[in-house]
Amino acid sequence: MAVNFVDLPGQFADIEGNIIKAITDIIHRGAFVGGPVLTAFETKLAQYAGTKFAIGCSDGTNALVLALLAAGIKKGDTAIVPVNTFIATANAVVHAGGVPEFVDCDKDTYLIDLNQTESILKKGKTKFILPVHLYGNPCPMKQIMEMAGKYNAIVIEDNAQAIGATIDGSKTGSFGSAAGISFYPAKNLGAFGQGGAVLTNDEKMSKVIRMYIEQGQGGERYYHDVVGYNARLDTIQACILGMLLDKLDGFNAARLRAADWYAARLPADRIQKRTASAKPVYHLFEYRCDSKAHRDKLADAFKAAGVGFGYHYPVPIHKQKAYPKHNKLSFPVAELLAETLISLPIHPGITKEQVDSVCNVIEKL
């Protein structure tokens, strides 16, 4: 049975007519930037996320850059970043003027290594922590926030892959000083192009973020207080995201159901361990192979069976050419996962029969 890795059109098929009608209305009004549609989406998103403010922006990377700038990062400030994440997390720190301080990940949850994080914080020089809710699995935010308070560090959550996930009932993205979200099309809440948002409970930060988004305008048009960015979320994307946000809990529930189907068939030590007291949303579902050779054989078997798959992420950040000064560092857990993890198909429309078909291929090797 052929199984698609994702099925983006299927996620909006039932409201496609409504989306087209709403976009057509925007086109006829010529209201492409800002306005009530964007404001309505931001208000709706903040209510959903459990934060006081949500500020739409151009993409998830800029969301983290803007959050760091609003949090007061200065040139040369260090920020703790797990190497097992998409490179955008580290890039955002650099673009904001900071320096990534890399740490390994936990061997079971694949999330930021808390022991290494505390070892760095104890030195008293690192001012920021960027925990990544990777693959939709929430980081242990209670411990991270306690650690941040103990060492006077600022937490900026990378919530690009985990919108809707919860820890003790509270949404990810609502714990730190701010959080960045990505609306890349393949995300759990995806735009029809690029998009992002910053979440925060700090009114001052929200105003600074809006200032940076609008080329540094401090409130009055054409009067610029800082060197800012052109980093707005356009109205059409805000309109689409607002409509899809109503479906997000259903999307996430379907992903979690599919993850449970996988978990019932696959060995527990082969899949990501869920964080205690948390409800993940499974942006991705990872299967751990014995070795790179084993993964290559499984990939070939998936191709032969028509099963979609992916690698997230085959090269840890510290081994990337973009970070040559870090290439000699060793983070063994992340390096092992980079060679052995393979992403299985998961999306809201996947069926149990399709999950079973994927598992059948795995079990035959």
Tens digit of each residue's pLDDT (9 = 90 or more) over 142-192? 999 999 999 999 999 999 999 999 999 999 999 999 999 999 999 999 999
| 215 Rama sector, left if φ>0, alpha if ψ -120 to 50, beta otherwise | left
Task: Report the CATH number that the domain containing residue 19 is assigned in CATH.
Answer: 3.40.640.10
**Strand (E) or helix (H) holding 80:** strand 78-82
pLDDT of residue 164: 98
Whether 187 and 278 map to the same domain: the answer is no
Whether 291 and 240 map to the same domain: the answer is no
Whether 99 and 230 map to the same domain: the answer is yes
**Strand (E) or helix (H) holding 55:** strand 53-57
- Residue 124, pLDDT > 90, answer yes
Whether 51 and 199 map to the same domain: the answer is yes
How far CA 285 is from CA of 6, 23, 56, 82, 338, in Å, comes to 12, 33, 27, 19, 14
pLDDT of residue 1: 87
Mean pLDDT throughout 66-95? 98
Residue 103 inside a domain? The answer is yes
Residue 1 inside a domain? The answer is no
- Residue 219, pLDDT > 90, answer no
- What residues have CB less than 8 Å from 134, skipping those under 6 apart? 82, 84, 85, 105, 110, 111, 161, 162
Count helices and strands in the chain by DSSP H and E runs: 13, 12
Confidence of residue 70 (pLDDT cuts 50, 70, 90): very high
Whether the Cβ atoms of residue 281 and residue 317 lie closer than 8 Å to each other: no
> Which range marks the domain in which residue 110 is found?
8-245
* Boundary-marking domain end, from 210, 245, 280: 245
- Residue 139, pLDDT > 90, answer yes
Whether 130 and 264 map to the same domain: the answer is no
Tens digit of each residue's pLDDT (9 = 90 or more) over 16-55? 999 999 999 999 999 999 999 999 999 999 999 999 999 9
Whether 255 and 290 map to the same domain: the answer is yes
pLDDT of residue 336: 98
Whether 181 and 260 map to the same domain: the answer is no
pLDDT of residue 16: 97
Residue 3 inside a domain? The answer is no
Tens digit of each residue's pLDDT (9 = 90 or more) over 279-328? 999 999 999 999 999 999 999 999 999 999 999 999 999 999 999 999 99
The structural domain count of the chain equals 2
Q: DSSP letters along 130-172, please?
A: --B-GGGPPP-HHHHHHHHHHTT-EEEEE-TT-TT-EETTEET
Tens digit of each residue's pLDDT (9 = 90 or more) over 238-285? 999 999 999 999 999 999 999 999 999 999 999 999 999 999 999 999
* Boundary-marking domain end, from 227, 245, 263: 245
Distance CA 95, CA 91 (A): 6
